[in-house]
Amino acid sequence: MHCQTCGDATSPAYEECRRCGTRVGQPAVSPGVPTYGVRGLAVAGAIAVGAATLCYLLTALFPLVGVRMARSAAEQLDRDVLLGAVLAEVLFSLPYLLALLTAGTLVVIWTWRARKNLDAFPGAVPNLSPAWAIAGWLVPLVNLVVPARVLADLLRNSVWQRRQSWLVGVWWASWLVFLIGDRFVARAEQQRYDRLTELPRNDAEFGTYVRFYEDALGPRLVPAVACLVAGIAFVVLIRRISAAQQDRLSRAVPAWPGRPVWPGQPGWPAPAAPAPAAFAPAAPGAFEPAGPRDGADGASTTSPQAPPASGGTIGA
C-alpha cells in the first residue's frame, strides 16, 4: 500500500507515513472540499511567461538596433532618424507589456487555485493562507519574498520531492536580480538620456547618441539573463506542480463510462424486475415417495413388469 500524499510505501506497523506524516488509509482528496483543475491554466501560464520572457529579451537587445540607427543619423545629420529609434524602442516594449500583463493575470489565478487544492489534500501543511497567493504578487516589497514562500509550499505539498526544492531558490534569486536590476538599469539609462542634447546639430552631438546606445547594451544583459533563468525555472515549477496535483485529483474521481449520475437520480439504470415464475403441472409421480433402494447403483429392488402376451386379456 502506498501513501496518497507522497507515494512512498507504507508499513502496517505504523499509523502514519514515515515520510510525510499522512495517516495510513487517508483518501487522495478529502471529500467535500472544493478542488480546482490547474493543468490547462498551467499550460496557458507557461506560454504567457515564455512569451513575456522572449519579448523582454528583444527589448534588452534593442541597443543593437539603436546604435545602427544613431550612426545612420550621424552620417546624415538627420534628427528624424533619432526620433525613429525612440519610436522603434517603444514599439518593441508594447508586446512585452501585453505579454507581461497576460502572464501576471494567469500566474496569479494559477497560484490561487493550486494553493486552494492543498486544503483538500490530506497530509498537506501549507504555511500561508490562500489570500497570500494573490496578495503576495501584488503588494510592493511583499512580492519580493511571499511568492517564493507560496511556491515552496506548493512544491513541497504537491510533488513531495525534496531534491527539487532548489528550483524555487534558483527562480527566487534570478527573479530578484531581474526586478532590482531592471529598475536600476532603467533609472541609469534615463539619467544618461536626459544629459543628451535634445536637438543635435553637429557630428559631436550626434556621436553622443551613438555612444549612448553602445553603452546601454552591457548593463541590460544582466537583467536579461536573470529574466531568462527566472522564466525557465518558473515554467518548470508550474508544470511539475500542476502535473502532481492533477494526478492526485484524478485518483479521487471515479472512472464513469459516461456522465456521472448517482443511484436513484434520473438517468441511472433501474434494476430489472424479477420475471414471474411460470406455473407448470407436476409430472406424474413427481410427489410419489421413492421406493426402497439397495445396491450401490441405486436400482429398485422390485422386479420389472413383464410385457403382456399377445392375445389381449386374461382368459382370452
Low-confidence ranges of the chain (pLDDT < 50): 255-270, 278-280, 286-316
Widest CA span in the chain: 160
Q: Quote the pLDDT of residue 110.
A: 97
Q: Among all chains, which residue has been given the C-alpha cell 492533477? A: 246
Measured between alpha carbons, how far is 80 from 86 in angstroms, rounded to an integer? 10
Q: Which of these, 229, 232, 224, lies nearest to 62 by C-alpha position?
A: 224
- Say which amino acid occupies 72: S
Q: Are the beta carbons of 141 and 134 closer than 8 angstroms?
A: no
Measured between alpha carbons, how far is 234 from 137 in angstroms, rounded to an integer? 14
Name every residue whose Cβ is closer than 8 Å to that of residue 230 and which is 6 or more positions away in sequence: 53, 171, 174, 175, 178
Q: Quote the pLDDT of residue 262.
A: 43
Q: Quote the pLDDT of residue 32.
A: 78
Is the pTM for the entire model greater than 0.85? no
Q: Quote the pLDDT of residue 19.
A: 56
pLDDT per residue as tens digits for the range 49-76: 999 999 999 999 999 999 999 999 999 9
What distances in angstroms separate CA 19 from CA 52, 63, 150, 162, one per listed residue? 38, 53, 21, 11
Q: Which of these, 137, 130, 101, 100, lies nearest to 113 by C-alpha position?
A: 130
